[in-house]
Structure 1
Amino acid sequence: MTKTIYDGLIQLGGATILPESPEEAELERVQNPQDVPYMVRFAAPEFTSLCPMTGQPDFAHLVIDYVPGEWLVESKSLKLYLGSFRNHGAFHEDCTISIARRLVEFLEPQWLRIGGYWYPRGGIPIDVFWQTGAAPTGVWIPDQGVPPYRGRG
């Protein structure tokens, strides 16, 4: 059988259980088959975590942009990782930055940014942004496309 860059993936193509916590979630990666710089975007418009003080659910629209280096994140493992925050209590800032830092450590991308567009808690929306540095030249980096929170009007 011919060896491919997908050998070794354990979560793709089979039944999986949502991890109990972000620490238990297993991210997977595959070799980047391209030799040109390009940007990858993941949008998670229904991200959920818990308030660490009240246990009430918090909701966000996350946008993760990265320019791959040697590795690509396997999307099902990312979905399960993000889903593992459903029962995780942390403030918006901590969730957003923790996700970005784990991806940077795991993938070693050329560049990564995250936008955490959190829905109001106590009447105040909280947006959290972080990136690893200046975007690489020659790569198209579009706006994240999430409008600022405007309530009902």
Structure 2
Amino acid sequence: MTETPSYEHLTLLGKHSAQPTNPHAAVLERVVNPAVGKHYIVRLTCPEFTSLCPLTGQPDFAHIMIDYIPNNWLVESKSFKLLMGSYRNHGAFHEACTMEIAGKLISLLDPVWLRIGAYWYPRGGIPIDVFWQSSVPPSDTWVPAQDVPSYRGRG
């Protein structure tokens, strides 16, 4: 029988948690990976991500998909949800939001591998998609396609 991990260090799960007003105020938490040493993919999808243009204050919308192979840690999902919501009133360009989210997860989790695909909806008629991965994924890992279609408009 395996020992149940302690979750006493979590400050958000199971408690009322106000939405952070910006990403710098958000607390991202982690839990122990129950399968250390196995290369499996964890997928986090945020199909209704919003932030603000830092110059105009107009809303920007994206479908963000993150895949990672955990090392010792998994991101705690409620804290991740609150982090993503904290961008709602945050002004930053698409690339800055995307890379900041990736950087926060890399710093917290030190995963074996991580990739982020940020599929931004058009502003001024031009969609901007941002992609990044930390390295080449291990050869023994099945990495599913993200399959988020490119923006096609009405055509």
- Asked if structure 2 preserves the Cα contact closer than 8 Å seen for 1:11 and 1:77, the reply is yes
What CA distance in whole angstroms lies between the structure 2 residues aligned with 1:43 and 1:145? Answer: 12
CA contact (8 A) 1:5 1:31 kept: no
Per the alignment, residue 24 of structure 2 pairs with: 23
Equivalence for 1:13: 14
Name the stretch that deviates more: 8-17 or 88-97. 8-17
CA distance in 2, matches of 1:67, 1:44: 18
Q: Spell out the pairing of 1:106-145 with structure 2 (5 A cutoff).
A: 106-145=108-147
List per-residue Cα deviations over 1:82-106 (Å, max 9, x = no partner): 1000010000000001100111011
> C-alpha distance in 1, partners of 2:124/2:99?
21
1:131 to partner: Cα distance:
0.5
Deviations 1:42-94 (A, max 9, x none): 11000000000000100000000000000000000000001000010000000
Please provide the CA RMSD for this pair: 1.2
**Percent identity for Structure 1 against Structure 2:** 61
CA distance in structure 1 between the aligned counterparts of 2:133 and 2:5, rounded to whole angstroms: 31
- Structure 2 Cα separation of the partners of residues 81 and 67 of structure 1: 20
Per the alignment, residue 35 of structure 2 pairs with: 34
Three-state SS of the structure 1 residue aligned to 2:150 is coil
Give the Cα–Cα distance (whole angstroms) in 2 for the partners of residues 107 and 91 of structure 1.
25
Counterparts of residues 60-79 of structure 1 (less than 5 Å) = 60-79=62-81
The number of residues matched between the two structures is: 152
**CA–CA distance in 2 between the matches of 1:77 and 1:139?**
27
TM-score normalised per structure 2: 0.95
2:13 aligned counterpart, secondary structure? coil
For residues 152 and 12 of structure 1, the distance between their equivalents in structure 2, rounded to whole angstroms, comes to 42
Taking a change above 3 Å as real, the CA distance of residues 67 and 5 of structure 1, as seen in their structure-2 partners, is farther
TM-score, normalised to structure 1, is 0.96
- How much does 1:5 deviate? 3.7
C-alpha separation between the residues in 1 aligned to 2:5 and 2:61? 38
Q: Which ranges of structure 2 fall in alignment gaps of 5 or more residues?
A: none
Q: Which AA in structure 1 matches 2:21?
A: E
Structure 1: which 5+ residue stretches go unaligned? none
Residue 95 of structure 2 corresponds to 93
Give the structure 2 partner of residue 46 of structure 1. 48
Task: Tell me the distance in 2 between the aligned counterparts of 1:25 and 1:46.
Answer: 18
